[in-house]
Copies of this chain bind each other. A is one copy, B any other.
C-alpha cells in the first residue's frame, strides 16, 4: 500500500545507453526496477556495516561427513547461541564431502561469531557466510 513517487534523473545520453545495455543483458524489464535494485543494494550494504543490525544469513560449510565428531558439534553450536536458527539444509556432494547451509537470524555481530566458530571446527574444509538485511522497509 505504499506511495510511489516519480523522480527525475539527469543522465548523460551515453551513460544511459550503456546502462540500458547492461540491464537488458541482466534481464531487467525496466529501468526503474534496475535503479531501485541499485539503491536497495547500497542501503543494505550500509546497514550491514553496523554490528547491531538485524540480519538473516546463510552459513555455508563444506565438510567431510566422516568426521565423527563434527555433526554433533555443529548441532551444539546451533543450540548454544543467542541466534535463531531458522533452517538448515544438507546436501551430499560426493562420497566424502557434504554441503550444509545453516540459515540464521540475528545481529550482524552474533552471526559473524557463530560463523567463525563453525568454520573452526575440525573437519570443516571450506566455509563462507552470506549476510543480508531482512528487506524490511526496503520497499
Contact = CB atoms under 8 A, between A and B. Distances in A.
Contact of A5 (B13, B35, B125, B132): B13
Interface string A63-106: 11000000000000000000000110101011011010101000
Contact residue range for chain A? 35 or more
Contacts of A4: 10-13
Contact of A26 (B36, B39, B44, B119): B119
Interface of A: 2-16, 18-19, 22-23, 26-29, 31-44, 46, 56, 58, 60, 62-64, 86-87, 89, 91, 93-94, 96-97, 99, 101, 103, 116-117, 119-122, 124-126, 128, 130, 132-139
